[in-house]
Amino acid sequence: MTFLADKPGKITPEILAEQTKFSFEIFPVAVSMLITALCVMAFLVWNEIDHDRALIWFAAAVLVVALRFGVYYWYKATEKPEERAEFWRRMFLLGAYSTSLVLGAAGALFFSDLPPAAQTLFMLLLLGIVSGSLPVMALDLRSYTFYVVIALTPLVSINLAASDVQLKLLGVLVVVYIIMLMLSGYMFSRVMVDSLIYRHRSKNLAERLQVANMRLSSVNEELERISTVDELTGTFNRRYFNLRFEEVWNDHMREQTTLSALMIDVDYFKIYNDNYGHIRGDNCLQKIAHEIIHVIRRPRDFAARFGGEEFIVLLPKTDSAGAREIATRIHQQIERLAIPHKRPDKFGRVTVSIGGSSVVPSRDMTDDAFLQRVDQALQQAKAKGRNTSVLIP
Q: Report how far Cα 83 is from the mean position of its chain's Cα atoms.
A: 19
Tell me the three state secondary structure of residue 390: strand
Nearest to 305 by CA among 314, 295, 318: 314
The backbone region for 338, taken as left when phi is positive above 0, alpha when psi lies in -120 to 50, beta otherwise, is left
Give 302: exposed, middle or buried? Use CB within 10 Å, 0-12, 13-18, 19+: buried
Which residues 6+ apart lie within 8 Å of 187 measured at CB?
4
Helix, strand, coil percent values for the chain (each to nearest 5): 70, 10, 20
Q: Catalytic pick from 309, 310, 325, 335?
A: 309
Q: What is the DSSP letter of 313?
A: E
Nearest to 348 by CA among 360, 340, 356, 336: 340
Nearest to 92 by CA among 65, 62, 72, 64: 72
Q: How many CB atoms lie within 10 A of CB 259?
A: 25
Q: What is the DSSP letter of 259?
A: E
- 309 has catalytic annotation: yes
Which residues 6+ apart lie within 8 Å of 5 measured at CB?
none
Instruction: Name the amino acid, one letter, at 121.
Output: L
List residues with catalytic annotation: 309
